Structure 1
């Protein structure tokens, strides 16, 4: 069985950043999957599930209600390796297109001071496993890492 494209990315050279992971064409539509890489794979500790879960709830809510991008959001969720998130948007987009959106998203999460959306037994299958203070810390940490984002943080390494 051949490796899928995401397993062909050199994770030893990958830095925290915003990357186009893939583009899929469904009928007349293009879906762009973004790799929002928050930690350096295999060099830094992974994100813990409680903060990832809190970020998923905040992020999905923010993105789906975004004035400009809300109707383009297909999916926002964590990577299995816990080094970041995937964001799938409708449209043939580049990483440059969404730097502003990602900054808005992570500012929102870093400054969040309300009850987490969907954080109750009725709305979530694991509502007790959330850590808002650490989610805010990780969001701020990522913002600092992309403050002066460079091309090597927007394009996968060869």
Structure 2
């Protein structure tokens, strides 16, 4: 299959984790690294849309306070995680440090950025409290992020 995640055995992974999911070398020397930031166990749980949506806004905005090398932070359609796309950042430990700092920012947030009809395509679908719960859940399992596959893999 052409899509990397379609070749991943979702029954073998153990969320939460942070996984390098793709590398693209640009023609001008830059390299794009795509990280799979998985919060929920595939096919067993998922993020509810208002919480996911708010977490996306908070993470996309705040991670850029920790690094200027973010290309994109976007949700997976399956609602189990996000893709973090970075420019020239091939160190997963560095990426996990950015994610940890940003999730801590989420816990301190008092509002969801760009949560209005001018800046958001579905402004009615947000939950700051839900985003904070997801952030806390991910942070509580910080030591597990490097482990991608469960013991049955």
Provide the TM-score with structure 1 as the length reference.
0.86
Contact 1:20–1:94 (Cα < 8 Å) also in 2: no
Matched residue, 2:25 = 25
Structure 2 CA distance, aligned partners of 1:6 and 1:128? 30
Total equivalences in the alignment: 149
Structure 2 unmatched ranges of 5 or more: none
Runs of 4+ in 1 over 3 A off after TM superposition: none
Contact 2:32–2:85 (Cα < 8 Å) also in 1: yes
Matched residue, 1:50 = 50
Structure 1 unmatched ranges of 5 or more: none
Provide the TM-score with structure 2 as the length reference.
0.89
Structure 2 CA distance, aligned partners of 1:150 and 1:120? 33
Give 3-state SS (helix, strand or coil) of 1:153's partner: coil
Aligned with 2:129 (options 114, 124, 133): 133
C-alpha deviation, 1:117, in angstroms: 1.0
Instruction: Report Cα offsets for 1:69-110 as digits up to 9, x if no partner.
Output: 1x2110001011100111000015132221211111111112
C-alpha deviation, 1:153, in angstroms: 3.3
48 and 95 in structure 1: CA distance in 2 versus 1, 3 angstrom threshold: same
Contact 2:111–2:128 (Cα < 8 Å) also in 1: no
